[in-house]
Amino acid sequence: MTIEETVGAIELLTEPLSFGTTWRAIVEMTTLGIAGGVIGCWVVLYRLSYSAESLAHGMLPGLVLAGLVGLPLLLGGVAGILVAGLLVAAATRIRGSDPDTAVAVVVTTLFGVGILMALSPASPPAVGEFLFGNLLGTTDREILISVVATVLTVALVWTLHPRLLAIGFDGDAGGFVRMSAALVTFILLALVSVTILVSVQALGTLLVAALLVGPAASARLLTRRVTPMILTSASIAILAGLAGVYSSFYLRTSAGASVVVFILMFFLVAAALRSVRSRIPAIERV
């Protein structure tokens, strides 16, 4: 590689960093990538992917309402998730109804209500960002909130790691670890809710579930043990965030959507590697 090519490659890497919006987006996605990558592994292992997506979609009316009346989005998100959680819990108790079907009806109804509110003439233009996020509009305050939430989430998951592991692989191990499976699942969903709340401004209600499920699903294809899975998941989420922000800068695409595209690309690569690796023993036997 010549000196000119080296200089050109360095400029490609450094030019986006000369803009504050790009810097903040990278810091935000790195922070969210750690949180989403860590908590997402337990979402996948506990088979809570649908629940995570339901919470993300069901909170939309609360976010829109907060935007309409001028309340903090975080407050609206909390209210939206609480209402969605209560309605989902009530729906699963309806006699004669399949729980998954009932949850789907509740979530799609809440999401539809949120869309109607977002598209009403009284809604400010920024309300539309709740669907797809505004990663490049990240503020220092939002980064601070994300950092605090990520540190607390990772610390709590680290503390609960043995219990999560025991109950995740043996639902009857609650007595041994002195915590019921229901309580552990509730704590896990609470952490998922916190991660969704701090991520929705950057990725929106439509894309935030990808951060919780995609990297963890890719990591599970590549690893067999939980700790390497968590580290791999967080790494994939961070790399997808960096790649998405950089591609958004040069291709003039939506930053949040670009991040999700790279999460999908990592999953496809992981699936291909898993497929190739599974064929190797068969090839060697032949």
Query: For residue 243, what are the domain limits?
Result: 18-274
132: confidence class by pLDDT, cuts 50, 70, 90 = confident
In a domain? residue 1: no
- DSSP element (H, E) containing 165: helix 140-169
- Count of domains observed in the chain: 1
| More confidently predicted of 21 and 236 | 236
Mean pLDDT of 9-33: 82
Query: Domain holding 88: CATH number?
Result: 1.10.3470.10
Q: Which residues contact 192 (CB under 8 A, 6 or more apart)?
A: 39, 43, 48, 51, 52, 55, 212
219: confidence class by pLDDT, cuts 50, 70, 90 = very high
In a domain? residue 3: no
In a domain? residue 103: yes
DSSP letter, residue 253:
-
In a domain? residue 281: no
Residue 55 pLDDT exceeds 50: yes
DSSP letter, residue 221:
H
Q: What's the pLDDT score for residue 233?
A: 95
230: confidence class by pLDDT, cuts 50, 70, 90 = very high
Q: What's the pLDDT score for residue 285?
A: 45
263: confidence class by pLDDT, cuts 50, 70, 90 = very high
Residue 256 pLDDT exceeds 80: yes
In a domain? residue 230: yes
Mean per-residue pLDDT of the chain: 81
Q: Which residues contact 133 (CB under 8 A, 6 or more apart)?
A: 200, 201, 202, 203, 204, 207, 208, 256
Residue 264 pLDDT exceeds 90: yes
List pLDDT tens digits, range 77-96. Answer: 788 878 877 777 676 666 66
In a domain? residue 251: yes
Are the CB atoms for 63 and 77 separated by under 8 Å? yes
In a domain? residue 137: yes
Q: What's the pLDDT score for residue 286?
A: 41
In a domain? residue 267: yes
Mean pLDDT of 243-270: 91
Percent of the residues in the chain that have a pLDDT greater than 90, as a whole number: 27
Residue 49 pLDDT exceeds 70: yes
Among residues 216, 219, 200, 197, which one has the least CA distance to residue 208?
A: 200
Q: What's the pLDDT score for residue 144?
A: 93
